[in-house]
């Protein structure tokens, strides 16, 4: 099927969309290979890996539980619809969502309130697919605190855990991240600041272009970085 026709069939709503790919692709920015079944974002007609698209802090939530899906949308500061092209049906189909991992807590609480707690727990665990290498996380967390004394221990821990998720392709899994390279850790800290301490996710959610959104929050990022770099008082 010609590419143009596929695009035409893509969801017409203003929801952000990421694509679960049927064929291997290469990120047009960093050049990383994305496997079949992996997620990409399309920017100006070119594929971007989730990391380059600044969407790698989002986790997959597969369709199936209507209540959980609705609640995850409500609580998540940024989310995108996952679609995959169905060759047999000739159009894109919704597969699920990607949502902010931390924001799932709100959805989790609501689900726990009206479902059995254990059942809710199981659902959340099933969608998170988070496997952490705790030793690497500990080392990285300590290194973050060394470079950024002003960053709280809890947040350092959260950045370290996020960047070291196995198989995520995030900076913590790269050679530089494993050797606790200063630049790699700074990059991880900046990514976290963008998503948690600025309007970045809201701007993306509102449809702003990534480059524009980055420019709009640059000063906010610098301000937080400066605060983190200063010794804790
Ligand atoms: Zn990339």
Print pLDDT tens along the chain (233 aa).
344 434 434 444 678 999 999 999 999 999 988 888 899 999 989 999 998 999 988 888 877 777 788 888 888 889 999 999 998 999 999 988 898 877 777 787 777 777 665 566 666 665 554 444 577 788 889 999 999 999 999 999 989 888 776 555 566 656 666 667 788 889 889 999 999 999 999 999 999 999 999 999 999 999 999 999 987 65
Task: Output the CA 215–ligand 1 centroid distance in Å.
Answer: 19
Of residues 137, 212, 174, 186, the one with CA closest to residue 32: 174
Q: Render the burial of 176-194: b for 16+ CB within 10 Å, e for the rest.
A: ebbebeeebbbbbbebbbb
Of residues 226, 144, 222, the one with CA closest to residue 185: 144
Chain centroid offset of residue 9 CA: 25
d(C-alpha 186, C-alpha 177), whole Å: 10
Of residues 54, 16, 12, 56, the one with CA closest to residue 38: 56
Q: Whole-structure pTM over 0.85, yes or no?
A: no
Task: Output the CA 109–ligand 1 centroid distance in Å.
Answer: 34
Task: Output the CA 26–ligand 1 centroid distance in Å.
Answer: 8
CB atoms under 10 Å from CB of 31, counted, come to: 9
Task: Output the CA 173–ligand 1 centroid distance in Å.
Answer: 14
Task: Output the CA 51–ligand 1 centroid distance in Å.
Answer: 6
Of residues 85, 93, 82, 96, the one with CA closest to residue 16: 82
């Amino acid at each position: 099927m010609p590419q143009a026709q596929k695009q035409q069939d893509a969801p017409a709503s203003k929801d952000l969309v990421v694509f679960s790919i049927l064929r291997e692709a290469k990120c047009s920015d960093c050049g990383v290979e994305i496997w079949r079944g992996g997620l990409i974002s399309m920017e100006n007609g070119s594929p971007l890996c989730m990391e380059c698209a600044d969407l790698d802090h989002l986790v997959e939530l597969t369709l199936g539980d209507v209540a959980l899906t609705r609640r995850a949308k409500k609580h998540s500061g940024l989310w995108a619809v996952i679609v995959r092209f169905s060759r047999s049906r000739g159009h894109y189909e919704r597969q699920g969502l990607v949502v902010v991992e931390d924001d799932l807590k709100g959805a989790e609480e609501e689900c726990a309130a009206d479902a059995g707690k254990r059942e809710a727990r199981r659902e959340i665990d099933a969608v998170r697919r988070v496997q952490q290498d705790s030793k690497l996380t500990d080392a990285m967390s300590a290194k973050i605190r060394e470079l950024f004394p002003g960053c709280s221990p809890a947040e350092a821990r959260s950045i370290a855990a996020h960047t070291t998720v196995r198989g995520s392709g995030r900076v913590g899994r790269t050679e530089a991240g494993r050797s606790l390279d200063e630049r790699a850790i700074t990059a991880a800290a900046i990514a976290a600041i963008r998503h948690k301490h600025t309007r970045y996710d809201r701007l993306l959610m509102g449809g702003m272009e990534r480059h524009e959104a980055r420019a709009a929050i640059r000063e906010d990022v610098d301000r937080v970085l400066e605060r983190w770099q200063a010794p804790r008082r």
